[in-house]
Amino acid sequence: MNRRDFLKNCAVAAGGFALSSCAAAAEGLVLSNKTLESRIGAKRPNIIFILADDLGYGDLSCYGATKVSTPNIDRIAEEGMRFTDAHTPSAVCSPTRYGVLTGRYCWRTRLKSGVCLPNDPLLIDTKRMTVASLLKSVGYTTGCVGKWHLGFGERGPDWNGELKPGPLEIGFDYYFGVPVSNNWPPFVYVENHHVVGRLQNEIIKVIGTGKDQPILPKRNPEKLALVQTDKAVKFIERSKDEPFFLYLAPCNVHEPHTPNEKFKNTSKAGIYGDFIKELDWTVNEVTKTLDRLNLTDNTLLIVTSDNGAITTGTSADYIAKPENSTGMEYGHRPNGLLRGQKADIWEGGHRVPFIARWPGKIRPGTISDELTCLTDLIATCAVIVGKELPDNAGEDSYNILPALLGEKLNKPIREAIVHHSGAGMFAIRQGPWKLIPRRGSGGFTKPVRYKPKPGEPAGQLYNMANDLGETNNVWSQHPKIVKRLTKLLVKYREEGHSRPLRRK
């Protein structure tokens, strides 16, 4: 179907969602073509995507933190754009990472709740297009440094042999980092297909989640950020002469909070604040490298997080395990004024900092209230490199380039966004309305879910325009909105995609 036929089909589509999807797609095509030619130019930019771990909406000083300052990340916001309504596709690690790399909601895969366990197989189908394979196909050098947490192998990882398939089989030329999560075994680094420093005849074995197994002496937690940052810098240095894509996933600020000695006592929010300072240092090492190699102007740099911060626990917990503190005893608010925390369906679980800098393209010091999702990376990259996504890739990805370039839009880029909690609870957001079909947090905040009493609303409906803290459930007052959003959520779940496809 050519573009004219496509628009004609849109025009005759009968009402409702089909029409609005087509219209949005048509508008997006017009905008992207125009902007591509006139604003981006022919030179392909380097793309660096920094995905922090468990960094909350209130953890950076450019998002309102007062007990910890993040001058280096703040400077990127001053030189670029800061988003206020950006969301992770899940409120926990692995499913968000799946969504970032594939542009598809993870609940469409076998992983319907929780995260990948240490012995889980690779979650991404090696035949599926990823951001890395897309960019590699047009000549980019692609690197993945940091936390992987998406499994290895067809039936699970062989820690003593080849860890394959893994990052290198889904489009990355290079991988170095922590294979699972910084708090889960095996406590090793993996480089490309192998555990780093495994001795001959040594057997590395993880039983279950392995939480009680001893730490192997192959990774010093207080050097995690230093080691991974160094690998990221070296990747940039050796890729400087060609367009490159770096997916950098620091372990900061997931617990245990283990800042290096040189960052201790550098914040007013305890060890958690110090761990954020270390993240700010990592980001600065990256930007310093770009400056030194004269790459800053031709690099799209994004800094964001994979889910909200954890805020459970009491002062007693902090005393027992200070490395798990989230600085609240010092008055720090990791998720700002949002309700809930990591894993929850409420905003604290998935609304995150999102900062983008691209000198000469993104206007400095700008703020965008556009509703976006981290799954949008692949569609945005596709437009940047002049490729059209096939229908079997990036099924939940929208091109956010018009927002980045500050285009005046007469409607939101996304028709809607689906949120998903750690326990597998859904929500859908469209315009100001956020519908959660069930009661409870769906995550770490108790109760996770419960049956409403007779006469109580069956689910939750919030107006995000005037109730950011999700304090006023207006489900019973707006039955038509409840019905409409419920129908849209069912449609997205059943159809296998939420972006308009080229053809059906």
Rule CB under 5 A: which residues touch Ca ion? 53-54, 93, 306-307
Shortest Cβ distance from residue 338 to Ca ion (Å)?
Answer: 16
Instruction: Rank residues 186 and 349 by Cβ distance to Ca ion and give the closer one.
Output: 349
Q: Which residues contact 490 (CB under 8 A, 6 or more apart)?
A: none
DSSP per-residue string spanning 171-203: T-SEEEE-SS-TTSS----EETTEETTPPTT--
Helix (H) or strand (E) holding 372: strand 372-373
Shortest Cβ distance from residue 254 to Ca ion (Å)?
Answer: 6
Shortest Cβ distance from residue 307 to Ca ion (Å)?
Answer: 5
Shortest Cβ distance from residue 255 to Ca ion (Å)?
Answer: 10
Write the single-letter amino acid at 294: N
The SS3 assignment for 298 reads: helix
Instruction: Rank residues 274 and 306 by Cβ distance to Ca ion and give the closer one.
Output: 306
Cα–Cα distance measured from residue 153 to residue 162, given in angstroms and rounded to the nearest whole number:
8
Instruction: Rank residues 98 and 462 by Cβ distance to Ca ion and give the closer one.
Output: 98
Shortest Cβ distance from residue 182 to Ca ion (Å)?
Answer: 10
The SS3 assignment for 472 reads: coil
Q: Which residues contact 83 (CB under 8 A, 6 or more apart)?
A: 353, 354, 355, 356, 367, 368, 369, 370, 372, 403
Instruction: Rank residues 59 and 306 by Cβ distance to Ca ion and give the closer one.
Output: 306
| Phi/psi of residue 273, nearest 5 degrees | -60, -35
Shortest Cβ distance from residue 400 to Ca ion (Å)?
Answer: 22
Cα–Cα distance measured from residue 415 to residue 411, given in angstroms and rounded to the nearest whole number:
9
Instruction: Rank residues 113 and 160 by Cβ distance to Ca ion and give the closer one.
Output: 113
Task: Give the burial class of 319: count Cβ atoms within 10 A of its Cβ; 0-12 exposed, 13-18 middle, 19 or more buried.
Answer: exposed
User: Residue 67: left if φ>0, alpha if ψ -120 to 50, beta else—which one?
Assistant: alpha
Q: What is the DSSP letter of 36?
A: I
Shortest Cβ distance from residue 387 to Ca ion (Å)?
Answer: 30
Measure the N-to-C terminal CA separation of the chain; round to a whole number of Å: 10
Kind of pairing between the strands at 81-83 and 46-52 = unpaired
Instruction: Rank residues 53 and 255 by Cβ distance to Ca ion and give the closer one.
Output: 53
Shortest Cβ distance from residue 204 to Ca ion (Å)?
Answer: 24
Instruction: Rank residues 340 and 437 by Cβ distance to Ca ion and give the closer one.
Output: 340
Write the single-letter amino acid at 405: L
Shortest Cβ distance from residue 54 to Ca ion (Å)?
Answer: 4
Shortest Cβ distance from residue 3 to Ca ion (Å)?
Answer: 40
* Residues paired with 304 in a beta bridge: 51, 354
Instruction: Rank residues 280 and 306 by Cβ distance to Ca ion and give the closer one.
Output: 306
Shortest Cβ distance from residue 93 to Ca ion (Å)?
Answer: 4
DSSP per-residue string spanning 193-235: TEETTPPTT------TT-TTSPPPTT--GGGHHHHHHHHHHHH
Instruction: Rank residues 198 and 350 by Cβ distance to Ca ion and give the closer one.
Output: 350
Instruction: Rank residues 53 and 395 by Cβ distance to Ca ion and give the closer one.
Output: 53
Shortest Cβ distance from residue 53 to Ca ion (Å)?
Answer: 4
Instruction: Rank residues 343 and 381 by Cβ distance to Ca ion and give the closer one.
Output: 343
Q: Which residues contact 335 (CB under 8 A, 6 or more apart)?
A: 56, 57, 58, 308, 309, 311, 341, 347, 348
Q: Residue 393 CB: number of other CB atoms within 10 A?
A: 20
Instruction: Rank residues 299 and 307 by Cβ distance to Ca ion and give the closer one.
Output: 307
User: ω into residue 253 within 30 of 0, thus cis?
Assistant: yes
Residue nearest to Ca ion (CB): 93
